[in-house]
Amino acid sequence: LEKILFNLISNALKFSNSGGTVKVTLQVLDNSGHLDNKEVREVMILEVQDTGRGIDKADLDGVFRRFYQVNSKGEEYFQGSGIGLAFTQRLVEIQQGMISVASELGKGTIFRVVLPASKDHIADDIPDENMELAEGNQHRELNGWPDLLETDVSDGDPDPGAIELVFTVLIVEDNAEVLTLLKRVFNTDYRVFMAKNGQEGLELARELQPDIVISDVVMPIMDGYELCRQLKSNYITSHIPIILLSAKTSEEHQVEGFEFGADAYMTKPFNGEVLKSHIRSIITSRKILRDRFAMEPHVEPKDITVNSEDERFLRQAIDLVENNLKNELFTTEMLADQLNLSRTVLFRKMKNLTGCSANAFIKKIRMKQAAYLIEKNFGNLTQICYEVGLNDVKHFRNSFKEHFGVTPSDYKAGVKSSEMNRK
């Protein structure tokens, strides 16, 4: 209920002008036709009403679809991610309720949620927003749509042939003509979001966690250098690659851009295909780093990260898991809490740095520690299994093989063979 309310109020505030009104009402009534389920005696009706710009009738049917964005003329900068309302509808439906919307352009919008007013219909398993994103992405792939917001929700890798279809691009540019040109360059292959200055770009980057940021340097309110500095100095966003575009062509300015943390610097005028090739190169290099983490038993954070903030974050995450190895009940919620991150940010950060979900990351650290213990002849496989927080040897054997391609026994035999060869 908190997530439902938060998403609806956030949406209302985002699309209301300064001085407007957002009104929230709640009432409990007899179920006289509000819900089709006749077993429900009372219903709770929650309404969030705003005096904002409203939604065109042609767009009303689509507002609850994943990734749908109302395309009002002249309001591109107010686009959201197209996730919140779809997730809200999913939460309402799981509670056997219903949600509807009424709106009029220039007058405002009302979202209405009707839920059973008892605990009898509450689901035992409430979904996480990341899993909703995952389901949405898989659904779109089955229907010929690329997976646009996450690289892949499984432990596998995305199809290399479709790699550029996987990413979202945030373009930060104050010149409308350049912005339109950039959007045209990327719109067919990427999910594109736009901001008209560094401050808006910073806020969108924190909200959307895009896969790459392309930013102009000279902009009002906040320039590209400062945007780059703030994104790279905060480990919530430090993993996001940044390409700076500028009419400043001197080597001095390019060096300055790299000192602020830019991953690439291109001068204007630019060639769209060259810019896309830069992105492909960055994507490929990041994938190589993720593969190293996935396949090699012993990889230091500094070997798979490109800046100190990401190295610090990954080192801290690994230490937390290793300190809780014997705790079989150590969860992603606990990891997120100790890292002072939301589950959503932890999920996206881990996916970008390691290719794993947070849950898969914990499992992978357990297996890496198991490999280390095998190499050190710590004990038999049962002892090692318990040492890394598992109590089922068969499950441990299968997990180890899944991570390293060989069983623990074969891994141990390989270690002994290597030692003999060295001697």
User: Mind listing the pLDDT tens digit for each residue in 75-130?
Assistant: 433 344 445 787 788 888 888 888 999 998 888 999 999 988 887 766 555 555 44
pLDDT in the model for residue 170: 92
b/e burial code for range 247-275 (CB count within 10 A of at least 16 → b): ebeeeebbebbeebbbbbbbeeebeeeeb
Cβ neighbours for 401, distance < 8 A, ≥ 6 positions apart: 407, 408
Separation CA 7–CA 86 (nearest Å): 10
The pLDDT value recorded for residue 69 is 54
Sign for the pseudo-dihedral over CA of 153, 159, 160, 162? negative
pLDDT at residue 13 is higher than 50 = yes
- What is the arithmetic mean of pLDDT over 51-68? 76
Mean pLDDT of 340-358: 84
Q: Which residue has the tokens 């790279």?
A: 232
pLDDT digits (tens, 9 = 90+) for 227-244: 999 999 887 888 899 999
Model confidence band, residue 70 (pLDDT cutoffs 50, 70, 90): low
Name the pLDDT band for 31 (thresholds 50, 70, 90).
Answer: confident
Q: What is the mean pLDDT of the chain?
A: 78
The model's pTM is 0.54
Amino acid at 79: Q
pLDDT at 365 over 50: yes
Tell me the β-bridge partners of 44.
Answer: 28, 115
- 198 confidence band (pLDDT: 50, 70, 90): very high
Token digits for 387? 């040492």
Pick 297-422's CATH classification: 3.40.50.720, 3.40.50.880, 3.30.565.10, 1.10.10.60: 1.10.10.60
Tokens, residue 146? 């690329």
DSSP H or E stretch at residue 115: strand 108-116
Rounded to an integer, the average pLDDT of 210-229 is 90
pLDDT 10s digits, 124-168:
555 554 444 434 333 333 222 223 233 333 333 333 333 333 578
Q: Which spans in 101-158 are helix H? A: 129-142
pLDDT at 126: 56
Structure tokens belonging to residue 167: 């990413």
Q: Spell out the residues 6+ positions from residue 276 whose beta carbon is closer than 8 angstroms to its own.
A: 164, 185, 186, 189
The number of angstroms, rounded, from the C-alpha of 188 to the middle of its chain's C-alpha atoms is 21
DSSP string, 363-407: HHHHHHHHHHHHHTT-S-HHHHHHHTT---HHHHHHHHHHHHSS-
pLDDT of residue 330 exceeding 80, the answer is: yes
The residue-averaged pLDDT of 23-47 equals: 86
Mean pLDDT of 33-45: 81
Residue-wise pLDDT tens digits, 175-196: 888 888 888 888 777 888 989 8
Q: What is the structure's pLDDT at 165?
A: 38
Residue ranges, comma separated, of all CATH 1.10.10.60 domains in the chain are: 297-422
Bridge partners of residue 191, in order along the sequence: 168
Q: How far apart (Å, rounded) are the C-alpha atoms in residues 292 and 278? A: 22
Name the segment(s) of the chain with CATH classification 3.30.565.10: 2-127
- Closest to 408 (Cα-Cα) out of 420, 378, 328: 378
Distance CA 380, CA 41 (A): 60
Q: In what order do the strands lie in the sheet with 191-195?
A: 191-195, 168-172, 212-216, 242-246, 264-267
- Residues 260-303 have pLDDT tens digits of 888 888 887 778 888 888 888 888 888 888 888 777 767 777 77
Question: What CATH code is assigned to 167-288?
Answer: 3.40.50.2300
pLDDT value of position 155: 33
CATH class, domain 2-127, is alpha beta
pLDDT tens figures, 378-398? 878 888 888 888 888 888 888
Q: 10, 94 in Cβ contact below 8 A?
A: no
Output the CA–CA distances (angstroms, integers) from residue 216 to 43, 182, 190, 242, in the order listed.
52, 11, 19, 11
State the pLDDT confidence band at 25, using cuts at 50, 70 and 90: very high
Say how far apart CA 276 and CA 189 lie, in whole Å: 10
**Residue ranges, CATH 3.40.50.2300, the chain:** 167-288
pLDDT at 74 over 80: no
